[in-house]
Amino acid sequence: MRRRAGRVARLGLAVALFAGCAPRPTAVVPVTEVARAARYLRQLARREERATMVEGAATVWLRAFAACDTCAPRRLPAAQAGVALAWPDRMRLSVGSAFGTALDLGLAGDSLTAYAPPQGWAVALDATRDSLGLADPGALAVRALSAGWRPPGSAWDSGTREGGLLVLRWSEEGDSVALAVDESGIPVWARLGRDARRGVMTRYERWESTDGVAWPVAFQVRELGGAFELACRLDGLRFAPAPARPRLAVRIPPGADVLGRERLRDLLEHLGRGR
């Protein structure tokens, strides 16, 4: 018994000595709003600097308009496209097909230009004159693709914590903007709209670093109210020091059937019904 008691005492002494040498647990200190804002703004400035000209390949999935309120939406096959953008408000998306280009879409500030070679249809609209219902679509598209949201200082001061995210809210020309930022300064989602049922929601699902620039490479764009949803994955991103104007311009050839706003709306409604 005495020998057993001695072994137990020696074992207890060894455990005590080992515990005394072990590193002490440290408390995790939450990231402050100041640090989070600094990380976000530093990465945003880097994206803006390198977004003079950005090109890459995109895989796009689109959930089409539903034929009725109770009908399930139609999911179209994935499409391959080339994408190019130039900060702050120019973007081009060229959707391919087995026979060449299926759709060439360009946004520049308030203007929208598109050409569909298989049908010979073209669109050339001005957001202000033709009442697209969306001001400055070029800048909005570039901001969504690059997560180029720049909150004012007051938004950081009044931000609220929601599930580990810092949610910022502010207004821009009658639109309300909400942006969720994680502790590393990365945007998780952004919402822009006039009210809870009219607007656009972008959710950033995956980021990658290219040439030291953090860039969203997988994201979803959804219209508030459920009219459409688009998912996109980007590959092979590359940055150029200056914008290449020819690669950003959509050319409408002579003889194309140019659709006005009313014909375009009728066509979209017709496609949405799936007839």
Provide mean pLDDT across the span 249-253: 92
Residue pair 53/240 in contact by the 8 Å Cβ criterion: yes
| DSSP 8-class letter at 246 | H
For residue 12, pLDDT over 70 is answered with no
Residue 254 tokens read as 């002579």
Non-local (6+) Cβ contacts of 238 within 8 A are 54, 55, 56, 210
Q: How many residues does the chain have?
A: 275
**pLDDT score recorded for residue 125:** 84
pLDDT classification of 14: cutoffs 50, 70, 90: very low
pLDDT classification of 266: cutoffs 50, 70, 90: low
User: Residue 39: CA atoms inside 13 Å, Cβ hemisphere, count?
Assistant: 15
pLDDT classification of 4: cutoffs 50, 70, 90: very low
List, for residues 137-182, the tens digit of each pLDDT value. Answer: 889 899 999 999 999 999 999 999 999 999 999 998 778 999 999 9
Is residue 59 exposed (0-12), middle (13-18) or buried (19+ Cβ within 10 Å)? middle
What is the pTM (predicted TM-score) of this model? 0.78
Residue 179 tokens read as 């942006």
Non-local (6+) Cβ contacts of 197 within 8 A are 224, 225
For residue 73, pLDDT over 80 is answered with no
**pLDDT score recorded for residue 94:** 93
**pLDDT score recorded for residue 274:** 45
| Single-letter residue type at 20 | G
For residue 270, pLDDT over 60 is answered with no
Q: For each of the domains in the chain, give its residue range(s) and CATH number, in order of start.
A: 52-273 (2.50.20.10)
